[in-house]
Amino acid sequence: MPEYAILILPSANRVYTDSAPALVAAELSAFSSVLSATVTETGTRTLGGVDYVTLATEEPLSADDVARVSNVSSVYALFEVTGELLRPVMLSPAARFDSDLLTIQKYPGKTNEQFTQLVYNLTLLASRWAQEGFDTRLHVLDPLCGRGTTLNQAMMYGHDATGVEVTAKDFEAYERFVKTWLRTKRLKHTAQSGTLRRNKRRLGQRLEIEYAADKESYRAGDTRTLVYYNTDTLRTDELVRESSVHLIVTDAPYGVQHGSRGEDDALARSPRDLLAAAIPGWTRVLRSGGALGLSYNTHVLARSELTAICERAGLTVVTGPGYDGLAHRVDQSIERDVVVARK
């Protein structure tokens, strides 16, 4: 019976490095739904004093299977286990750009980019675009996008991205970063920014970018869009067309100190109140068969409460292999978990 071993990418965050093997083993279980090889077991194993995430199958992974597994978050190298030996397997991830798109930005409170990819992957795999989603143009929304880690992951996968964030400092920081990154990489693009208005009322700021992975794609019209609205997430369904989004991937505020803030930077809503008010509007812009992936702090919001909020909005929470047992410690005040729900 074939067995494969994944070497985990080292993380600058030691706590996440400790949690990563169990999280990736769960993620692999979700990936089993899009593999042609029948997965019999996922787990963790120590080989030569190094921890690996393992995958056992009834038949060898096909080239397409390897391409899918190459997108698993935190994957650094893939090996086929043969007795006491590890045979390297060439990875072929869907990433369109250099990894510095995800890693350059450093700031307090940044969500680990490997965890962002994990939530993104689980959301995609729960949607009706699971089979083709890593190779197909999708529209992804992060309605609490901060400084854009999810938006950058969408760019890596070749997806269109829309972000909404109320904090002007985050908007301005991301605008500076992404414009500089596109220029540094010499990628053809157009960028427009300015005041966001609706019905002659100022709602905040906006950034709209059209770009391509290379000059040939740009000339051929094979471009992607990146839109960032600096405004209250409760306005999402005013700004994003109904039933136009394939995936919603976001990181909920972890506590009062990280809570939703208004234009005057004053705390406005608790995470519970914010999600109860916002998820119905987010659901309206989500397509049928689309999925919402949301990470949250279990110390300020119980899973049962978040499940009830999703169900009242017409979503069905996904359970089973890959979607259960994802809770893990971030620090003393944060234990993070993930809920994925399908429309």
| DSSP code string of 297-320 | ETTTS-HHHHHHHHHHTT-EE--S
Nearest to 182 by CA among 116, 96, 268: 96
- Spatial neighbors of 238 by CB under 8 A, at least 6 apart, are 198
| Residue 239 lies inside a defined structural domain of this protein | yes
The stretches in the chain having pLDDT less than 70 are: 11-15, 256-269
Both 152 and 262 in one domain: the answer is yes
β-bridge mates for residue 293, sequence order? 249, 340
Q: Which two tokens stand for residue 242?
A: 């109904």
pTM of the predicted protein model: 0.94
Both 198 and 323 in one domain: the answer is yes
Q: End-to-end alpha-carbon separation of the chain, Å?
A: 37
CB-CB neighbours of 153 under 10 Å? 24
| Residue 94 lies inside a defined structural domain of this protein | no
The pLDDT, as a whole number, for residue 258 is: 39
| Residue 167 lies inside a defined structural domain of this protein | yes
What's the length of the chain? 343
Tell me the CATH number at 328: 3.40.50.150
Both 84 and 19 in one domain: the answer is yes
Both 22 and 82 in one domain: the answer is yes
| Residue 95 lies inside a defined structural domain of this protein | no
Q: How many whole angstroms separate alpha carbon 5 and alpha carbon 46?
A: 10
The pLDDT, as a whole number, for residue 13 is: 57
- Single out the residue in 36, 61, 89 at which a domain terminates: 89
Both 241 and 212 in one domain: the answer is yes
- Single out the residue in 62, 89, 116 at which a domain terminates: 89
Nearest to 181 by CA among 101, 260, 241: 101
**CA distances in angstroms from 130 to 74, 122, 231, listed in the order given:** 19, 9, 31
Both 314 and 217 in one domain: the answer is yes
| Residue 306 lies inside a defined structural domain of this protein | yes
- Single out the residue in 60, 89, 118 at which a domain terminates: 89
Both 42 and 127 in one domain: the answer is no
Both 113 and 151 in one domain: the answer is yes
Both 51 and 160 in one domain: the answer is no
For the chain, the domain total comes to 2
| Residue 50 lies inside a defined structural domain of this protein | yes
Both 81 and 130 in one domain: the answer is no
Both 179 and 303 in one domain: the answer is yes
**CA distances in angstroms from 57 to 38, 85, 159, listed in the order given:** 5, 18, 30
The parent domain of residue 319 ranges over: 100-342
| Residue 223 lies inside a defined structural domain of this protein | yes
Quote the distance between the C-alpha of residue 168 and its chain's center.
22
Both 73 and 196 in one domain: the answer is no
DSSP, res 197: E
| Residue 37 lies inside a defined structural domain of this protein | yes
The pLDDT, as a whole number, for residue 256 is: 42
